[in-house]
Amino acid sequence: MPAEPEFVEPLLRLSTDQHRAIVAHCYDGLPDEACGLLAGPVQTDGEPTGVVTAVYPCTNADRSARTYTVDSRDLIKAMRDAESRHEELVGVWHSHTHSDPYPSDTDVRQAMEPHWMYVLVSLQHAEPVLRCYRIRDGAVRECEVAVSDS
């Protein structure tokens, strides 16, 4: 058995356009939660580098202000697109319409991908707040987010 990778926190790097697309999709989804997927390169141990090469706005199949489920057809389409570029899905974002940008108990319980970056966008105040986390075995660690034009 290979050793379990460390629970490290990559730096999530988003371009200004990617950041804008994610936040805009969250506002477009109101009053429901909105969700989408992130693709990017991964290292040999499966850990994402933190670089994001594609953002995929998805349908919230729950159509709910309290929960989200990425539409299954959007999920496979995004996965195949990432694979066609020899990359992988590396994370998911969703909005919290009236609460903090922190993973809820449901988010922690249903986080199935230990390598993924889980991005939360809170719309509870006038300014949207975007944060990123790793969730593994019920433990939550925040990762830094860098947004730049480069």
Residues making contact with other proteins (CB under 8 A): 35, 37, 46, 62, 66-70, 72-73, 75-76, 79-80, 92, 94, 103-107, 110-113, 118
118-144 burial, b if ≥16 CB within 10 A, otherwise e? bbbbbbeeeebebbbbbbbeeeeeebe
Q: Please, which residues have CB within 8 angstroms of residue 5's CB and are 6 or more apart in sequence? A: 45, 46, 47, 115
- Nearest approach in angstroms of CB 4 to other proteins is 12
Closest CB to other proteins among residues 91, 148: 91
Closest CB to other proteins among residues 16, 106: 106
- Nearest approach in angstroms of CB 49 to other proteins is 18
Closest CB to other proteins among residues 18, 69: 69
d(CA 40, CA 78): 11
